[in-house]
Structure 1
Amino acid sequence: MVTITYRDADIELDEDVYDPAEDSYLLADVAIDVAQDGMSVLEVGAGTGFVSAVLQTNVGVDLVATEISPFAAECAKRNGVVVIRADMFGCFRSGTKFDLILFNPPYLPTAEDEKVPGWLNYAFDGGVDGREAVNRFFEEVTPFLSNGGIILMLISSLTGMDEVKMRMLKQGLEVEICNIDRDCFFEELIVLKGTLKASDQL
């Protein structure tokens, strides 16, 4: 096992789980900037638990995560994250609310011959346009946001930022760009922030 340290959090990695990369670091940094002590936080698709572990090390949040891969869920638990093995929001009762929801989806367009075997494919496969998981997320997320609740989502310039922003606006979210990493070789990484207005609460 390999352990890395970032912003005072020690994260154990696993060969069967997607390793934290530039996207993970960017989302963790933005989450620390946005989160406040006492917030109820959900990370959807926690992977190794990197983002959640870094956030809860630096901010006094009440955090839970979901993760579909059994290997990733166990890895995140070893990293001190409370994880429920579930697909997105399927484990939560109606009426469950979060102040902040984090999501680093599989965001790259993925052809059939680009899929990888096993559970790891869930971390990479964004579908034909890179928005398959993104669209599902926005179909389900709004009822789980508290009044004024915030979403932080990391996408790539290859995902189609305008299309994602339009989807967020249709869900009643006020949208802003929190951060852009332009240092990647073939893409830009973008953290979008969506805030639910109280009048749009479902």
Structure 2
Amino acid sequence: MKLTEQRDVPTVYEPAEDSHLLAETAIERIDGGYALEVGVGSGYVASRIATETNATVVGSDISPEACARARAEGIETIRGDLTRPFRADSFDVVVFNPPYLPTPPDAEWDDPLEYALSGGPDGRRVVRPFVADVGRVLKPDGRSYLLVSSLTDIDAVAGLAADAGLTAREIAAERFPFERLVVLKITHKNS
């Protein structure tokens, strides 16, 4: 993983294999409408969606540095926590590459990238609240593309979706030496 450095302090997660997989998967399936990238970071995925599809794209991030970076890339960006700043039934598509690395509490660090990388002890600390609320902001026939890792327990993430009244299914994957990256398509159960 590469990091953007400003004054020798990394501040924004740079696109890596996971970002590329999410962008390619989303672009193949987006045909317009309103799209949100949660955790917009550098703006890479949102920029690709904006330039390679007919979608109107907005980003959100909890990090002011990430918001500034995405805005510099031409992405309208809201500073906020996950999907909370947005009204119900707002988006046709929501994409998210969450912090998914399982990180024991004694290995946590205190710098701006902790939110971008650390998924807590099971890798699902940020995935849980996202999956619990994403159905609220999706239009009835909307879908979310969520990138997760085998390190995060893909079946557990699908279980979180089911608990939230959503359906999750794997639509893309890529293998790496220590993990398998997967994009889950999450929809309302009735769609």
TM-score under structure 1 normalisation? 0.86
Counterparts of 2:161 and 2:86, CA distance in 1: 22
Aligned to 1:9: none
Q: 1:10 maps to which residue?
A: none
Structure 1 unaligned spans of 5+: 1-12
- In the alignment, the residues of structure 2 paired with residue 170 and residue 43 of structure 1 have an alpha-carbon distance, to the nearest angstrom, of 23
Structure 1 partner of 2:84:
90
Partner SS, residue 84 of structure 2: coil
Is the Cα–Cα contact under 8 Å of residues 17 and 72 in structure 1 kept in the other structure? yes
After TM superposition, the runs of 4+ consecutive aligned structure 1 residues lying more than 3 A away are none
Q: What is the CA distance between 1:142 and its match in structure 2?
A: 1.4
Matched, 1:193 2:185: yes
| Structure with greater strand percent | 2
**What is the match of residue 172 of structure 2?**
179
C-alpha displacement of 1:80: 1.1
Identity of aligned residues (%): 42
Structure 2, unmatched stretches of 5+, are 6-10
Please give the alpha-carbon distance, in whole angstroms, between the structure 2 residues aligned to 1:142 and 1:96: 8
Which residue of the partner structure matches residue 161 of structure 2? 168
Structure 2 counterparts to residues 1-202 of structure 1, below 5 A: 14-15=4-5, 16-37=11-32, 39-93=33-87, 95-182=88-175, 184-198=176-190
Mapped to 2, the partners of 1:130 and 1:96 lie a distance apart of 28
* Kept in 2: contact 1:14–1:75 (CA 8 A): no
**Residue 96 of structure 1, CA deviation:** 4.7
* SS of equivalent residue, structure 1 residue 42: strand
How high is the TM-score relative to the length of structure 2? 0.91
Instruction: Give the C-alpha shift of residue 178 in structure 1.
Output: 1.1
Count of aligned pairs = 184
> How many angstroms does 1:141 deviate by?
1.6
Q: Is the 8 A contact 1:147 1:197 kept in 2?
A: no
Q: Report the Cα distance in structure 2 between the residues aligned to 1:96 and 1:14, rounded to whole angstroms.
A: 34
Deviation at 1:34, TM superposition (A): 1.2
